[in-house]
Amino acid sequence: MFTAAASSSVGRWRTAFLSLRDEISTTPPPPVPLLLEDLLFSQSHSLISAVSHLPLHELTSDCLFLLDLVSKADGPDWIPVSRHTCQLIHDVCARLLFQLNSSSWPLLLHSFASVLEFLLRQPMPSSPYSAAYFSRIEPVIQCFETLRRLAPMHPENIHLVKFLVRVVPLLHQDLVLSYGFSNQDPSPTLLVEKKLPQQNRLWDSMALAFDMFGRAFSLSESLFPTDVSQCTLEVLRKVMDVLASKGQLVEDRFMWSFYSCLLGCVHEVLTNIKCPVSDHVLSFIASLRMFFCFGLTGPPQLSVSDVVHNDKHLNVKLSPLISGVSKNAKNTPYRPPHLRKRDDLNTRQPVSSSWRRLSAHDSGSSDVISSDSDFSDSDGSVPDSYFAQSSKVRIAAIVCIQDLCQADSKSFTTQWVTLFPTSDVLKPRKFEATLMTCLLFDPHLKSTRNLLNMDHLCPSPIPLV
């Protein structure tokens, strides 16, 4: 039975959408952006309270109607309206999922793609750390999160992949700008608490996109048409090219999720597509090689002083990440991990579980080694967690190399000399991007039970001169 408050909120929802339908059917119709602001977005909080009390088919119909209306946006007046629409749909689906069928699911994806195309084609702010840039990326995040909730109910993954192939390229310039800023400014005087949250939203959105990409390919098992597979390869290659264009990877905890989801997606696509990859082998190898040294230099230096980064996912003091090891660790005898843990129980600050997650969303598809328990000499500190997670990224890159070799061994033949040293193969080369770097200097790769099958990676003897 409805309470008075529930009945009132449902009445406001129905009045708003009935009035909207009536107004846009008049001749001439009033300015739609002003109409939407007046009828819907000025009372969005009260409308959201009605969601759980509305019939599911009515809720779905109204939201699809709104999204279709906004997908025809044209002009600057539509920019705030488009952003508000993405937020409203996101907030609705966070409470109750739409009732979609085989016809309405593609319609939803098409409308979302049109809205994001309109927003992402607006002039881009000059700095990826500004509030304006945050407003640009937030609708993308909201859209991707909404689709990630809805996608498991719809086996027609080809529609989701086509949506991502349409939208992700629109973020290419954002990637170039943000990644360029990240590499230009590794200064330890960085204003972390002001700068990183805005930048991180772009990488969050890309991690979500590639997580959905990878899941779609893993579930569809090579059922995608050749043209869709080729477009997906092209999207992945261009993103990998952005990483390679700067000559080095940005190494910080905010990038773990992005790198993991990206490499997991590359693995799923290369494993499941049935189209030629020869045109992309060279570019993929150049990018994947950069991951062989990822994290071997140690935890990144974010600030000279202690910085506390507070957000809804993480509240952890970053000073241990700066020092890398405890000051008391010098000149002390070796103690096994279980004794170190016991000693530290009363002294160590608790570390958020967010540091331990390979992916901010779901580590299941990209977790290429079994668990942190495989790392027999890890005491669980932030630096150890950093090395563990970066090792997972390095191994994920090696898995992608293996996938490329299996997908097109003929084109891959000429790349072996770039992946292995051609002389003195056991000579220490800790910062040289070869497979031997991982095999010789990655302690977690050597200690884990899930060692890669190198015979499978290298199906025939490789002449080393």
Asked whether residue 174 falls in the same domain as residue 150, the answer is no
Domain shared by 90 and 190, yes or no: no
CA torsion 257-262-167-108 (nearest 10°) is -70
**Are the C-beta atoms of 141 and 204 separated by less than 8 Å?**
yes
Whether residues 101 and 208 share a domain: the answer is: no
Last residue within a domain, chosen from 110, 127, 154? 154
Q: Are 112 and 163 found together in one domain?
A: no
Q: Are residues 219 and 367 in the same domain?
A: yes
Domain of residue 142: give its range. Answer: 1-154
Residues 40 and 184 in one domain: no
User: Are 322 and 339 members of one domain?
Assistant: yes
Give the span between the Cα atoms of 369 and 426, in whole angstroms.
25
Residue 14 CB contacts under 8 Å (≥ 6 apart), including other chains: none
Whether the link from the prior residue into 80 is cis, omega within 30° of 0, is no
Same domain, 385 and 366: yes
**pLDDT tens by residue, the chain, 465 residues:** 568 888 899 999 999 999 999 999 998 889 999 999 999 999 999 999 999 999 999 999 999 999 999 999 889 999 999 999 999 999 999 999 999 999 999 999 999 999 999 999 999 887 777 888 889 999 999 999 999 999 999 877 899 999 999 999 999 888 888 776 655 544 333 344 344 455 577 888 899 999 999 999 888 765 788 899 999 999 999 999 988 887 778 877 778 889 999 999 999 999 988 888 888 888 898 888 888 877 776 555 443 333 333 343 333 333 333 333 344 444 455 555 556 655 555 444 443 333 333 333 343 333 333 333 333 444 445 556 767 777 888 889 889 988 988 888 887 777 776 777 666 656 665 566 666 666 666 666 654 444 444 444 444 434 333
- Co-location of 134 and 166 in the same domain: no
Neighbours of 280 (CB within 10 A): 20
Residues 81 and 197 in one domain: no
**79/163 same-domain check:** no
Domain boundary pick from 113, 139, 154 = 154
Q: How many domains does the chain have?
A: 2
Q: Which of 133, 154, 175 is the last residue of a domain?
A: 154
User: Do residues 142 and 251 share a domain?
Assistant: no
Give, in order, the Cα–Cα distances in Å from 152 to each of 61, 148, 222: 20, 7, 18
- Assign residue 75 a region: left if phi > 0, alpha if psi is -120 to 50, beta otherwise? left
